[in-house]
Structure 1
């Protein structure tokens, strides 16, 4: 079992403030690889914010699979509101999950991508939520990590079944976005519902605000939006892939597929062990480092530039040497090592 420094275990976070020249070097690396927006927030203050024209602070950009982490945070809010428990069986809320091997699958397994649902449906738009509820499992729940959009749209159906008179989108807006003063646009599924596996679109500033909210464990402007004691759930490693938590990526060695980052930074002593991220196709990234009070946003133009890597970018932010085989081209540190893919819903 891998040990992991959970957010609650950080007793006295020491803020880390990257050097201006290092952040500029990271932005240059990014813009040479289709990147266009970068924000660094240290100890609650924005210390770096740059855009490559025509993008500006007002540009609303696709998050692709960076969208997925909204679901994990919604789950924490719903548990706080007494609507669900993460370890409830999905079938408690959806009759399509009452029989066969689906009967044992839990909400936690949906959001950790080990419910047994396969990897079908990788388009940004996606099928209707209702249509995926009858999809068969391709593995026993809890035994295999499978990256895709269907589990998140299924989770959306769970929440709407509980709410009855309020949509998932309205709940997300009311409980999370509105208190933070942020908003999102959506690519929608065939039924008009938001594609929760990869359809979110947001400005870099709003995504950074959302990241700061996570870093602060749901506390915002003197109010507890989501109780602080629930946030460890977000970064608990999945049983079948310790590099994935509750809809977010962890910087731990992986045993399953769908790994978006090279293993190189794992071996570096300077990498904070509690760093985690939301990640999407085109190298959309929201890095969160609780122990250093650091939030980093990176947005880029689709399609993915394979010369870019998390290793190359993060080492520059931290002023460290790039350990990748070819730091100029990025070859050798491509996304998707371990057999998985990042995408709008994959």
Structure 2
């Protein structure tokens, strides 16, 4: 995204005569406001004024990016920019929406590392193991890469008929996984990519079954998953604000609803950037994070519950138009929740707020402008 001041900064002629103004009637750029400068650290690793302006544009209503409620930039693990919208602050818990999917994927990776699950074995769903049921061929890999073949519809017309809306908000909300698991196949397992919150709830249900040793008691299931996440992931990372939600059956709503502060979402992004390591401790095998960043065969822009910046031009890719440098990945949530990680630039960018589809395109162009400020290592 290029605002008026981006053009001014990009032009050598304009820079040379900034105090006098550019020819053609453009006014001299006033530079960052005091509010914009205050949001940026003294030594952010790039030009402070330029970062202040680019970061400040996330909050400018005239940029058509929607409403930014919180934003952070971390460089080499340090917060170099942080700001909140009116009525929000560092203690506000923000809903994840689909950023929760990436948390669920990490939990599955930990269980696989524990020896409790297998990536390429048939998914341990009892309903699918009946003789002649083709769903028995679905593996955890298929579920994680959104290619189970199950007939799940993330968005429909009308919306209330979609699998996701029925599961999260309507008649199937009390036992979400039971509904998700009961759907028939619409494609051979492994062949078709279809983004699906229902699929992630199946993964969360599998984790609850393992951790609760097959209990049907909702409280036992909820407690088992909650304890595992806190002791194995949240507490070691210092993510003290995390509040996961569960349905009435005790299954984590692992595709949609975890609440946390912007700083804790940034901590999670840094954990992924460091390939599952925190202060020298490997919380999940490095190979698992690398699997999460491995393209799904039917959809190279998607990994294991994680978005990738490959094939930026594909209309299904929710990271478009970010395509450079290679290796950028993201956890993305409904209506403009983003944890964008660029390992080459040692960057983690968090943006939380509310933006419609058109505003999200403009928002990602602005995030791309922030990324481009930092040289690749």
1:156 corresponds in structure 2 to 204
2:38 corresponds in structure 1 to none
Alignment of 1:173-322 (within 5 A): 173-182=230-239, 183-253=241-311, 258-262=316-320, 264-266=321-323, 271-301=324-354, 304=356, 306-309=358-361, 310-318=363-371
CA distance in structure 1 between the aligned counterparts of 2:233 and 2:346, rounded to whole angstroms: 20
Which whole-Å deviations, capped at 9, do the CAs of 1:101-154 have from their partners, x for residues lacking one? 211111011011110122243235463223322221222111111112111111
Which whole-Å deviations, capped at 9, do the CAs of 1:141-184 have from their partners, x for residues lacking one? 11111112111111112122222346333322221112112142
| TM-score normalised according to structure 1 size | 0.79
Structure 1: stretches of 5+ with no match in the other structure: 1-15, 321-346
SS at match of 2:188: coil
Which whole-Å deviations, capped at 9, do the CAs of 1:242-271 have from their partners, x for residues lacking one? 100000000011798742133x433xxxx2
| TM-score normalised according to structure 2 size | 0.73
Which whole-Å deviations, capped at 9, do the CAs of 1:53-98 have from their partners, x for residues lacking one? 11100110111111110121112211111111211211xx211122
Alignment of 1:1-346 (within 5 A): 17-31=45-59, 32=61, 33-90=66-123, 93-99=124-130, 100-117=133-150, 118-119=152-153, 120-123=162-165, 124-125=168-169, 127=173, 128=175, 129-165=177-213, 167-182=224-239, 183-253=241-311, 258-262=316-320, 264-266=321-323, 271-301=324-354, 304=356, 306-309=358-361, 310-318=363-371
SS at match of 1:265: coil
Higher Cα Rg, which structure: 2
SS at match of 1:307: helix
Q: Between Structure 1 and Structure 2, which shows a larger proportion of helix residues?
A: 2
1:335 corresponds in structure 2 to none
SS at match of 1:238: coil
CA distance in structure 1 between the aligned counterparts of 2:54 and 2:242, rounded to whole angstroms: 26
CA distance in structure 1 between the aligned counterparts of 2:345 and 2:47, rounded to whole angstroms: 14
Structure 2: stretches of 5+ with no match in the other structure: 1-43, 154-161, 214-220
**RMSD of aligned residue pairs (Cα, Å):** 2.3
**1:241–1:257 Cα contact (<8 Å) kept:** no
**Hey, which bits of structure 1, 4+ residues long, moved more than 6 A?**
254-257
- Point out which structure has higher relative CO (alpha carbons under 8 A, 6+ apart): 1
Which whole-Å deviations, capped at 9, do the CAs of 1:257-304 have from their partners, x for residues lacking one? 742133x433xxxx2200000001121000111222111111003x63
Aligned residues: 297
